[in-house]
Amino acid sequence: MAPEEPATRRSRRGLPPARVSPEAIARARGDAREGLEWLGRPPEVRASLLYVAVRLLARAILFGLFRFRIRAEGREHLPRQGGFILMGAAHRGWMDPFLVLHALPTAPRAWFLGSAASTFSSRWREWLIRHVGGLLPVWRGGIGIDQHVVAARAVLDAGGVFVQMPEGTVSGPAGRVGPFRTGASVIALRTGAPIVPFAMAGTEELYIGRRMASRILPPTSVAELLGSDWDGAVPEPDTRAEIELAKRLSVALAARLGPAVEAIDPWTHDPPDHPRRLRRRLTWLLLAPGRLDR
């Protein structure tokens, strides 16, 4: 294996700096609390004045300054009330949560189970997110899934929308779903909440005027996704049987979302000679820098 290239040499070549592991970030912070423990309060589902103000500011920046264009389809499939899990794929960039928020009404509020390492890149961002709400952070290699199940139930019981990106990473093929991790399916199994699949495309590379698309699919359930050969029994937590059933559910969910992602992706493509102004800066605006081809 070739030795790691010095940071000074990388910077002179204009390459992005090496990624810092989530574990290293957590150690440097001296704090790796997750979920509701980090939030310090029950997840609210009503839209506060601060949340509405931040949402309006974000829209002004994304649609006014950056001139992003989002085609959102399928809003008629949204349940009339909250209390459901929204499963989003393909997760390819920092704009994905904004595609979700663009497709959903202002209330009931959406709460994302998201990466703390990617989000807490500065203390002021962490302070703002804690006060605005909407994120229940996860540290890779953290304390396990039980706390996230508790957080999911708190959001669902309050009538909110619990949002998960089952791929668990932005690294993956453009215009297609990647492998789903089992954590999202374990939460779906344990809560038994309705599932709304949410397809996204066009967020892997951002530039001025970028086109993106989303599609809300009809609500489904664990029972429907697993099919008639499932006996309806949910295994005991933290057992091999639970993991195997979660894998089956993940495969079924990916099969449901995959064709939708591929269907909406072509609209997001610009011709090769289309100007891609601020491509690198906008692509990594709210992410740790890395390779554009991921």
Residue 84 located in a structural domain = yes
Domain CATH number, residue 67: 3.40.1130
pLDDT digits (tens, 9 = 90+) for 217-272: 999 999 999 999 999 999 999 999 999 999 999 999 999 999 999 999 999 999 99
Count of domains forming the chain: 1
CA atoms within 13 Å, Cβ hemisphere of 161: 28
Q: What is the pLDDT of residue 6?
A: 44
Parent domain of 252: 49-283
Domain-embedded: residue 39: no
Q: Say what the pTM is.
A: 0.88
Task: Assess if residue 206 is contained within a domain.
Answer: yes
Q: What is the pLDDT of residue 182?
A: 95
pLDDT of residue 171: 85
> Within a domain: residue 3?
no
Residue 112, in any domain of the structure? yes
pLDDT at position 49 is 96
pLDDT for position 12: 41
What pLDDT shows up at residue 16? 42
Q: In this predicted model, what pLDDT tens digit does every residue of 98-115 receive, in sequence order?
A: 999 999 999 999 999 988
Decide if 79 is inside a domain: yes
Q: According to the model, what pLDDT value does residue 29 have?
A: 63
> Quick one: pLDDT at residue 139?
84
Looking at residue 26, its pLDDT comes to 61
pLDDT for 24 = 62
pLDDT score of 10: 41
Assigned domain for 178 exists:
yes
- In this prediction, the residues of the chain whose per-residue pLDDT falls under 50 are 1-20
